[in-house]
Amino acid sequence: MTAATHSTLFPQVPETADAVLDGLDPEQRAVATALHGPVCVLAGAGTGKTRAITHRIAYGVRAGILQPSSVLAVTFTNRAAGEMRGRLRQLGAGGVQARTFHSAALRQLQYFWPKAVGGSLPRLVDRKIQLVADAAAACRIRLDRGELRDVTAEIEWCKVTQTIPADYAAAAARAGREAPRDPAETAKIYAAYEDLKRDRAVIDFEDVLLLTVAVLQDRHDIAEQVRSQYQHFVVDEYQDVSPLQQRLLELWLGERDSLCVVGDASQTIYSFTGATPDHLLDFRTRHPGATVVKLVRDYRSSPQVVHLANGLLSQARGRAAEHRLELISQRPPGAEPVYAEYTDEPAEAEGAARRIRDLIASGVPAGEIAVLFRTNSQSETYEQALADAGVPYQLRGAERFFDRPEVRKAGAALRAAARFGGNDSLLDDAVDLPSQVRAVLSGEGWTGSPPAGSGAVRERWESLAALVHLAQDFATAKPGATLGDLVAELDERASAQHAPTVQGVTLASLHSAKGLEWDVVFLVGVAEGMMPITYAKTDEQIEEERRLLYVGVTRAREHLFVSWALARSPGGRAGRRPSRFLDGLRPGSVATAGGRAGAGPGGIERGAARAGVTAERRTSRSPARCRVCGRTLADAGEMKLMRCDGCPSDMDEGLYERLREWRAVQAERSGQPAFCVFTDRTLMAIAETAPDDEGELARIPGVGVRKLNRFGADVLAICAGQEIMEDGEGN
């Protein structure tokens, strides 16, 4: 970790405005001191952009140039806004508003709606997909689940690009969008959706921005009131601004130019939502006198990782590529990226799980490892592989830290101890804050050593351990701090969703990984058809896929593993090739003009060969086919059942329920989630097959050698109709 991108969790608040600038590099300092007029910060990955802009705001506030209440900093996620608020508080600028576009707009809309329209603001719907389904039904159009999701995305795109139903077909054609249904049908559903919202007196997420824009455009008195409140604006991730968000920003600004934008055109990966880098790239045209600062010193990644990232962009084309930033690593040399090729996707997942298990055994914290993939559908294979390897993991986007039941209980216990601790015998021998926290949390299940294995028990322990570590850092940074001080800190962090680190390998899509970083990153499925994704057809879409891979590469600090599989399923045709984006970059390949090079021998590990017996068994299998209709199976869930989802099931419902009851007992005994014993799909496959012996059971996907040895006797006994006794023996 370096001073430019990482600080201690609880740094001392700088004593003076000039002290705010300490530790900034020359370019970051230039950003922090550019407090007047329009400012454009072009910031590459890992260059400390959040550090630069938060120090800019804090310096302006501490120097008396900016009033905290007059500054509005906007970004795109609650996590990013929370992090910004946390950093500003640590720098002594806690009164500054840091919000997402939607949060800021909703706050203004709720305040001004009675004055602008009258009455209460219509109810905001959390999920619009049911409304879209109702609109399609009203139009007598049948949508399957996938089409419903895609039509919903089209409606969202229309709204952020300010496209009305009548203009949808032409706008979609101009943008090169592939409509999930006939454009006329999509437009019809869109129109019906808007009618339904009016009839039911509800608004959606995009309406928040649209209505705020409408109010500010139509009511100049309200617009002036907003402008008198907010006089200085900072926009993070400016390359992701949609036309609608840009319009709202212009209305907030009025005729003023006190605006600082920060972004990187090479990290534009959300165009499907209406985001465009054009506003960033055109900033100097709209503001000829703007101060422009480029941040290219990469404090996050090793020179080897940065070299690969620069190499990816060196082959890019298009307008964003013309403005790419050449990163310069500030870290000492590290390991070269490792490239691995596997026979099929399950083998690739097993290979990654083995490496991760070895890394953790060597001392790498599980929380500093991530597996990143192109689509969420790839997650299940890696969840299963990590569970089989006994590796704890967390899904990006899962329950927020401060919303976890054990964290809420721990917070209540700490609050009670802070209030009544003098009467608590648990604290008699606690001489300092960390020991007090350990004593209180020991009553909630925390122990000095983690429990064996993974699963729910381990996850609860990790949550409590994160609070223990937080207390230790807090006490180090603030000697003399009390339990009450820590409780106040936790309350502020919960409000900002500024969570401590939880141990567990992160599984995430490349899109959801943006803004995050890890010591070790596994980029998996980097093959043609997945990266770039099959439906990326136009040059612009292909280039966005390249930028997505660039974002993935730049998440890694020290170690990067890149892998691909030659076939999707075991025994499938090995027709896949590594992604064209790696041509000329991975050892043994040759740069081509849009073509693909064959995998060369130098430096590429053949994952299948490393897998030994397992790999040999996989390559000898024939393609997985549906045992009902004979169709070749590709979906991981269908392959477990050995039938298409749509084909009739011959599952023994009674057997399935007995297996579920047995699984619940095993999960409770081991302190693991039920799926770590067997997933629902695997249990369904067992109940449909009703195997008679170990050979039949072993052929069911999801039943590996380890699980066969551990659970095989029980499962076969249940399938034979025998009762399983408490000691695990059949009767």
Q: Supply the pLDDT for residue 633.
A: 55
b/e sequence 560-583, b meaning 16+ C-beta within 10 Å = bbbbbbbbbbbbbeeebbbbbbbb
Classify 9 as helix, strand or coil: coil
pLDDT the model gives residue 620:
37
Say what the pLDDT of residue 644 is: 66
Residue 564 shares a structural domain with residue 437: no
pLDDT of residue 522: 97
pLDDT at 7: 41
Report residue 611 as tokens. 């897998």
The alpha carbon torsion through 156, 160, 164, 166 (nearest 10 deg) reads -60
pLDDT for 612: 36
Residue 727 lies in a domain: no
Q: Give the mean model confidence (pLDDT) for residues 266-282.
A: 84
* 252 domain-assigned: yes
User: Can you give 680-729 as a three-state secondary structure string?
Assistant: HHHHHHHHHHCCCCHHHHHCCCCCCHHHHHHHHHHHHHHHCCCCECCCCC
At 272, the pLDDT band (50, 70, 90 cuts) reads confident
Residue 236: inside a domain: yes
pLDDT tens string 159-192: 888 889 999 988 888 877 777 778 899 999 999 9
User: Is the residue at 303 inside a domain?
Assistant: no
Rg (CA), the chain: 28
Cα 568 to Cα 344, 378, 591, 704: the distances in Å are 5, 11, 26, 18
pLDDT, mean of residues 271-290: 86
Residue 615 has pLDDT above 80, yes or no: no
Q: Are residues 356 and 420 in the same domain?
A: no
CA quadruple 63, 64, 68, 73: dihedral sign = negative
pLDDT of the residue at 377: 74
**Residue 398 or 721, more confident:** 721
Same domain, 189 and 223: no
Residue where one domain finishes, among candidates 496, 525, 550: 496
Confirm or deny that 188 is annotated as ligand binding. no
pLDDT of residue 629: 65
Check whether 599 has a pLDDT greater than 50: no
Where is the domain boundary, 547, 582, 617? 582
What CATH number has the domain bearing residue 671?
A: 1.10.150.80
Flag whether pLDDT at 47 surpasses 90: yes
Most confidently modeled of 195-199, 549-553, 697-701?
A: 549-553
Q: Mean pLDDT over residues 334-343, rounded?
A: 93
Range with the lowest mean pLDDT among 92-106, 351-365, 620-634?
Answer: 620-634
Q: What's residue 730's pLDDT?
A: 52
pLDDT tops 90 at residue 548: yes
> Is 136 a member of any domain?
yes
Rounded mean pLDDT of 289-316? Answer: 92
* Mean pLDDT, range 111-135, rounded to an integer: 87
Q: What is the pLDDT of residue 421?
A: 62
Residues 470 and 490 in one domain: yes
pLDDT greater than 60 at residue 311: yes
Residues 411 and 395 in one domain: no
For residue 55, give the nearest of 46, 44, 66 by alpha carbon: 66
Residue 291, annotated as binding a ligand: no
Note whether residue 43 is domain-resident.
yes
Q: Binding site annotation covers 704?
A: no
On whether both 482 and 521 belong to a single domain, the answer is no
Specify whether 270 is located in the same domain as 235: yes
Indicate the average pLDDT of the chain: 82
pLDDT at 500: 61
> Residue 82: is its pLDDT beyond 90?
no
Checking if the pLDDT of 37 tops 70, the result is yes
**Residue 310 lies inside a defined structural domain of this protein:** no
**Are residues 39 and 73 both part of a single domain?**
yes
Question: Could you give the percent of the chain with pLDDT greater than 90?
Answer: 31
603 is in an annotated binding site: no
How large is the average pLDDT for residues 19-23?
88
Note whether 468 and 434 are within 8 A (CB). yes
Same domain, 328 and 471: no
Is the pLDDT reported for residue 727 higher than 60? no
pLDDT tens track for 449-494: 766 544 456 567 777 888 888 888 788 878 888 888 888 888 877 7
Which band of pLDDT confidence, cut at 50, 70 and 90, is reported for residue 145?
A: confident
Q: Is the pLDDT of residue 617 over 60?
A: no
Question: In this model, does residue 551 exceed pLDDT 90?
Answer: yes
200, 233, 259 - which closes a domain: 200
**Beta-bridge partners for 523:** 372, 562
Percent of the chain scoring above 70 in pLDDT: 84
pLDDT number for residue 700: 81
- Per residue in 224-257, pLDDT (tens digit) is 999 999 999 999 999 988 888 999 999 999 988 8
Residue 53 and residue 24 share a domain: yes
pLDDT at 597: 37
**Between residues 421 and 114, the one the model is more confident about:** 114
The string of DSSP letters for 40-96 reads: EEEE-TTS-HHHHHHHHHHHHHHTTSS-GGGEEEEES-HHHHHHHHHHHHHTT-TTS
Amino acid, single-letter form, for residue 540:
E
> Does 289 carry a binding-site annotation?
no
- Domain hosting 521: range is 319-399+503-582
pLDDT at residue 139 tops 70: yes
pLDDT band at 618 (very low <50, low <70, confident <90, very high): very low
46 annotated ligand-binding residue: yes
| Number of Cβ within a 10 Å radius of residue 142 | 9
Residues 6 or more apart whose CB falls under 8 angstroms from that of 296 comprise 27, 44, 47, 325, 326, 327, 328
* Residue 45, marked binder: yes
* Residue 331: inside a domain: yes
Please indicate, yes or no, whether residues 134 and 65 belong to a single structural domain of this protein. Answer: no
- When divided into structural domains, the chain yields a total of 5
Q: What is the pLDDT of residue 328?
A: 94
Same domain, 184 and 35: no
100 annotated ligand-binding residue: no
